[in-house]
Amino acid sequence: MIMRDGTKTKESIERTSLRLFVEKGVAETTIRDIASAAGIAEGTMYRHYASKEELAWSLFSRNFTTLSRELDRLQKEQPRTREKIGAMIRCFCTLFDYDPILFSYLCLHALHGQIAKMTPDMPH
């Protein structure tokens, strides 16, 4: 499947943002930092996201929702508490092995009060 340039640009923005948000923190990362590191113009950022805050929240909510659904599915498949906990730990370890930057971002974002912004439609 051939991706459109806009899709590649958005993916680059998101990966770059995750890395910078983990390294510097969301508050300390600027749109200019993200654009520069992604190799795009600042204006290009605004074609995809209205603000840095929207970008940060989008990354968190989409990935947190996916992780929550997977954890919910895993714990429902296990009859006993020990197996539930083991499955959940394996899920976290797999995420860390697969994408340590995303894992760190989700943990850091959750620890800094972003879970308070959860919307009713998000799994919890």
Q: Residue 115: what pLDDT?
A: 44
The number of residues in the chain equals: 124
Q: Which of 50, 63, 73 lies closest to 114, judged by CA?
A: 63
Q: What is the DSSP letter of 40?
A: S
Residue owning tokens 């948000």: 21
Q: Residue 6: what pLDDT?
A: 72
All domains of the chain, ordered by start, with CATH? Answer: 5-117 (1.10.357.10)
Mean pLDDT to the nearest integer, 31-56: 95
Q: Is the pTM of this model over 0.85?
A: no
pLDDT tens, position by position, 63-115 = 999 999 999 999 999 999 999 999 999 999 999 999 999 999 998 876 665 44
Tokens at 100, concatenated: 């340590």
pLDDT tens, position by position, 101-117 = 999 999 887 666 544 45
